[in-house]
Structure formats: C-alpha cells, structure tokens
Amino acid sequence: MYRISARQILVIAFAAAVMSAVTVLGFQQLSNHWQPFGSALTINPPANITDPSLATDEQNNIEVYKAVSPGVVYIQSTTTVRDFFGMFAQQREGAGSGSVIDEQGDILTNYHVVADAEKLTVSFGSGNTYAARVIGKDPDTDLAVVRLVQTPKEALTIVPLGDSDKLIVGQKVLAIGNPFGLDRTLTTGVISGLQRPIRAENGRQIEGAIQTDASINPGNSGGPLLDSHGRMIGINSQIESPTGASAGVGFAIPVNIAKRIVPELVRNGSVQRPKLGITPRDVEALGRQVDLPVSDGVLIWSVVQGGPAANAGLRGLVQTDEGVELGDIIVGVDGQKVADNDDLYKILDKHQIGDTVNVEIIRRGRRMTVPVKLTDVPATRRRGFGE
C-alpha cells in the first residue's frame, strides 16, 4: 500500500503551484460551423488606392484597416478583489479587445479578459461607450462572448470570419487591438508557425494555436488576427516574453475553434464537455517528490462529489490513521494510454456526455479497470480544475 506523509503532500502542492506559475509567466496572458455571424466584408482591391507613393502591401494594409477596424472594440472590466481574509476590497480594472460578430451586438473576445468581471463597458472608435454583459464563456479554449446591453443606433460593422484550417506559414497577417489602451492599433507580420500547443489559464491545452510575429501586447487580448482579405483567422491570446511586452512570438486561437463553440456559448452560456470530475496531477511531475508505483499517468488528487469519477468509485487522496493514502492513478482509458493530463483531455474530448468509458487505474499497486459514465460535473464544483 502506497502512503505519503503530510510533508510530501505540502511538497506536491507547492510543486503544483510552481508549475502553474511557470505557465502564467512563460506565456503572458494578454488581457458543425455557425454561419449567422461574421458575414463577409468587401475589401477593395489595392488598385482602388491611386496614390502612386504607396506600395501594394501598404495599400492592402490601409484597406483592411479601413474595412475591419470599426468592428474592433475596446473592452474594459471592473472586478472586486479582496485580501486573504476577505475583509478589505478594492476595485481592479482590466482591458482587452474584441470583435463584433453579429447584428445582435455579440462580441467575441478572450475568456481571461472577462473571466471575473462584475462590470463591463465596450467602446467603439467614435468614443461612444456602452454597457455589456457576458453571455457565454469557455475557459478551456480561452474564448468568451459579450453582448451589448443596448445596440448602438449606428450600424455595427461585423468582422468577417476566415478559415484557420487553410493557413500557411509565411502568409501575411494583421492584428488590430488596443495595446496599453491605445485605440485600434494596427500591427502586421506573418504566420511564424502552426499547430502550436498553448495553455489556457486553467491549465487546459489548446491545440493548434497560430504563432505570429505581428506585434501583440497587453490589451490586444481578444482582438482579431486577420488575413490580407480582412478575414479573422484567429483571436489574439498570448505572447511568450520574459518582460511581458512583445518579443515577436505571439499566439492566436484558431477561428475555427470559435466557429465550433460560439453557437453553444450564445445558446447555453458554456460548453458542455465530458469530464471525470477530478483534480488531476501528472505522475511524471510528482515522481520527483513522491515514490509512486508508475513513472507516468494521472494521479487523482480529489474527486468532485456527485461527479462521474465519484459515482464510479474512483478515489482521491484519503486521510487514514496511518497517514495519507494515495489516490487512484489513471494509466489508460478505453485501451488508450494516458501518460498525462493532455492525453486524458484528448481522449475524453472524443466522447459525449452520457458515454461510458473504461478507465484503467492503479490502486494500492494493483491494476484494475472501472467503467465510468460521463455525466455533467456539478456546476457548483466545476471551477478551478481540469477534468
């Protein structure tokens, strides 16, 4: 029987906190398709600009900016932050960008821009500011939809959507946003890489991110990454930088992810995904602090009461008279190896709520298989943990 001491628990918890901090510091957060939103705009061909002093590429930049920038907004959020004891509160303000995606005044942005917002305002380039509210958010993809409380009288400019599955490294891209609060700033660059895995704030891996050298800074969060036709191909989300300012390595969430989940966000306010209802820890990372029976897999730290794992009898860490007993270690699902959290996410994402999966675990040194029916995780306990 494998047991760990209270001191080892503290070491594991500290290691988990450090890993989380590394993720945040390493990638600075920048504060079925659905057809109804993102109707195409008309980008005039460069030949329509007659100034001979402008190069063709400059003419294209100007036309894209003219056509799309009216649909890019500045989002400001207000959140109440309390101290450790919950006694002293202060207002914290955040800012980001967003794109108008339909005639109802829905705006696509990043989840981390509006995650804990108690008050939201949206500003257009005209200087007019409007109240808004979050109608849907998905921390797993770092996407959210904000809706204007009152749609402006003037016509909304809808940012058209492109196809992020057809991108090529080296093609030109443009980013429009509000870095450091500077209204509707345009930067240009190229696609530097494709299929980059990045991390959402909750630790979930986002597959297939677009890497670009277009300058992206705090405040660009949620703004559009555009192709040379003015079509949104990504939602600017993160940069890799030791200083927090642009170092020429930025990441955008592919627009095709938004096409897939936005209808559900608008309809239900969230995206329902099959989850086990556990707090997971990668065995490989923990193996340096604790003697574990396997070198990889996912340790169940705790289970959500009423969740699929708990209902199936899977166990997290348990306090006993002799110390703390290890939780179950997941090493496979439906015959597929699970080496870490990312493997678990990928396998579960292929299933639907209501499916039953066979989870292979190690408990007290013995290998066994437990059938788990994937039900929805209780809403009051969802926040904060991966699966």
What is the mean pLDDT for each group of 10 consecutive residues in the chain (387 residues)? 54 49 40 43 50 83 94 89 61 86 94 91 84 94 94 84 95 94 91 92 87 91 96 92 73 95 94 89 79 89 93 90 85 94 88 93 93 78 44
Residues 310, 337: contact at Cβ < 8 Å?
no
The pLDDT score that the predictor gives to residue 132 is: 94
Cα–Cα distance, 97 to 76 (Å, whole number): 9
Architecture of domain 273-381: Roll (2.30)
The pLDDT score that the predictor gives to residue 50 is: 55
Architecture of domain 31-270: Beta Barrel (2.40)
pTM as predicted: 0.75
- C-alpha count within 13 angstroms, C-beta hemisphere, residue 211: 15
The pLDDT score that the predictor gives to residue 20 is: 43
Residue (of 247, 251, 203) closest to 223 by Cα position: 251
| Ranges in the chain annotated CATH 2.30.42.10 | 273-381
What is the C-alpha end-to-end distance of the chain, expressed in Å?
Answer: 26
The pLDDT score that the predictor gives to residue 9 is: 54
The pLDDT score that the predictor gives to residue 342 is: 87
What's the full length of the chain, in residues? 387
The pLDDT score that the predictor gives to residue 287 is: 67
Residues 162, 40: contact at Cβ < 8 Å?
no
| Ranges in the chain annotated CATH 2.40.10.120 | 31-270
Cα–Cα distance, 239 to 29 (Å, whole number): 7
Report, as residue numbers or ranges, the catalytic residues.
Answer: 112, 142, 221
Tokens of 41: 């705009």
The pLDDT score that the predictor gives to residue 291 is: 77
Tokens of 221: 């969060």
The pLDDT score that the predictor gives to residue 286 is: 81
